[in-house]
Structures are given as structure tokens and as C-alpha cells.
Amino acid sequence: MLFLLIACVPSGPVPDGSDRWALAHDACAEASATCDAFLADDFGLDDTVPPNTVEAFRTLVVWDLGDESSGRDPRGDYDTEPFLDLLDEWSGDTTAARLYNYMSAAVDHVYVANGDSLADYRDGEMRLSILLSGGMWVTLTPVLVHEATHATWPGHDECDGRMCDKTWSGAYGAQASTAWLGGTVMHDAWLLEAAADAARHIED
Ligand SMILES: [Zn+2]
């Protein structure tokens, strides 16, 4: 019984009420060495992480994913509710602030190295393939979100022999929701395309 109770406790980072986003926003309003140092410290970015990937983390600070009202506007074909519900318990007035605070709590160390997949995450450790480091940072950011939300939603399902999630309560849902919210609020076609790509990995 005790085991069952423990098994039912939601996994993932626990909010401590701090607002790292507010500090990050002061340091990272502009790209700068100060910002790079802040992000390196906050996410444990090591020397293998290239500048475009640092910029993908800085995007978490500066982009506009809307506030509660616009973020929950049921536009489009995407079920953003599981992702927004995940962020609900985190501090911050906007979706982007809550996402940053979740991410900074979930991620302790980021490094670039090749492996069996483009990226993975386990116990605070995020590995990114060198193949990702040449990509566009604006579409890399939802991938970073995907990996970090494995702190809460570990693993994937298999659908017809390929990796997928059965529902939107998973890392692909977080990835698609992030890209879609950003693409919708900022009218960014690349992000909307990235949302569609991620959504193809969700069965329902
Ligand atoms: Zn994944």
C-alpha cells in the first residue's frame, strides 16, 4: 500500500515559489555575456553548448506565449490544456514566465553529445545531439521544452512502430503546445510548422 501511495505521487520538479524568470528577464532582455552567464548558471549549460542553443534558452526568457486568457483561447487544432495545467502551479504572470520557472527547476545540466536519439533527458540531465546544434534556435526551443517536460511525463508510447504519445499529456504535447502558442501569438510560420511536426507524434 505504501508503495502504491508513493507510486501515485506526481513526478517532476516541485515549485518552491521562486521566480527565476524575473531575474532572467533583467539579465537577458538583450543578448549579452551577462545573459549567457546567467543562463549557463541557471540551466547548467556546459562548454559543449553552442551559441545558437544558448539563444534557444534565451528565447524562453524573451518570447511571448500569451497570458492566461490568450493562452487558453481555444484556437486551432491543438489541445494546449495539459501543458498549461502543468504550468499552472508555477509562479509567474504569463505562460512564458511559468514555463521558464518550470524549465529552470527541471534542468540541472545541459550538454551536447551524440547518442541514439537527437535529444534525451533524465534526472535533470539534458543531452542534445550535435545534429541539433546547427538548427534554427526558434524551432529548437520547443525541443528543449519537450526534453524538460520528461521530468513530469517520462517516456513515450509506440504507435504503428514509431515513437508517439497516446494523448496530449506528454512531451510531444508540450512541444507542440509551446510551438503553437509562440507561433500564434507571434505570427511565426516556422513555429506553426514546428507545432504541426510535433503534433504528428500524438495519436488523439
Ligand atoms: Zn521525448
- Which of the pair, 162 or 173, is modelled with greater confidence? 173
Give residue 133's pLDDT: 74
Q: What does residue 139 show for φ and ψ, rounded to 5 degrees?
A: -95, -10
> What's the gap in Å between 106 CA and the centre of ligand 1?
14
Give residue 50's pLDDT: 92
Which of 65-74, 116-125, 193-202 has the lowest average pLDDT? 65-74
pLDDT band of residue 91 (cuts 50, 70, 90) is very high
The cell numbers describing 140, all together, are 529548437
> What's the gap in Å between 172 CA and the centre of ligand 1?
7
Give residue 86's pLDDT: 94
Examine the pLDDT at 28 and tell me if it is beyond 50.
yes
> What's the gap in Å between 204 CA and the centre of ligand 1?
17
pLDDT in tens, 44-80: 999 999 999 999 999 999 988 877 666 565 556 788 9
pLDDT more than 70, % of the chain: 89
> What's the gap in Å between 164 CA and the centre of ligand 1?
9
> What's the gap in Å between 74 CA and the centre of ligand 1?
25
Give residue 72's pLDDT: 60
> What's the gap in Å between 1 CA and the centre of ligand 1?
31
> What's the gap in Å between 99 CA and the centre of ligand 1?
17
Give residue 189's pLDDT: 92
Q: Which residues on adjacent β-strands are paired with residue 126? A: 110, 121
> What's the gap in Å between 32 CA and the centre of ligand 1?
31
3 state SS for 90-116: CCCCEHHHHHHHHHHHHCCEEEECCCC
Looking at residue 92, its amino acid is G
For the residues 8-28, what does the mean pLDDT come to?
A: 86
pLDDT band of residue 204 (cuts 50, 70, 90) is confident
> What's the gap in Å between 143 CA and the centre of ligand 1?
9
> What's the gap in Å between 148 CA and the centre of ligand 1?
9
> What's the gap in Å between 155 CA and the centre of ligand 1?
6
Q: Which residues on adjacent β-strands are paired with residue 165? A: 202
> What's the gap in Å between 165 CA and the centre of ligand 1?
9
Residues 6+ apart with CB under 8 A from 53: 45, 110, 112, 128, 132, 133, 137, 140
> What's the gap in Å between 66 CA and the centre of ligand 1?
25
Which of 141, 54, 39 shows the shortest CA–CA distance to 96?
Answer: 141
Q: Which residues on adjacent β-strands are paired with residue 162? A: 159
> What's the gap in Å between 145 CA and the centre of ligand 1?
10
Which of 24, 18, 14 shows the shortest CA–CA distance to 45?
Answer: 24
Other C-beta atoms within 10 Å of 201: how many?
20
pLDDT band of residue 7 (cuts 50, 70, 90) is very low
Examine the pLDDT at 135 and tell me if it is beyond 80.
no
Helix axes 171-186, 189-199, angle to 10 degrees: 160
Examine the pLDDT at 92 and tell me if it is beyond 80.
yes
Examine the pLDDT at 3 and tell me if it is beyond 60.
no
> What's the gap in Å between 124 CA and the centre of ligand 1?
14
Give residue 127's pLDDT: 97
Give residue 5's pLDDT: 47
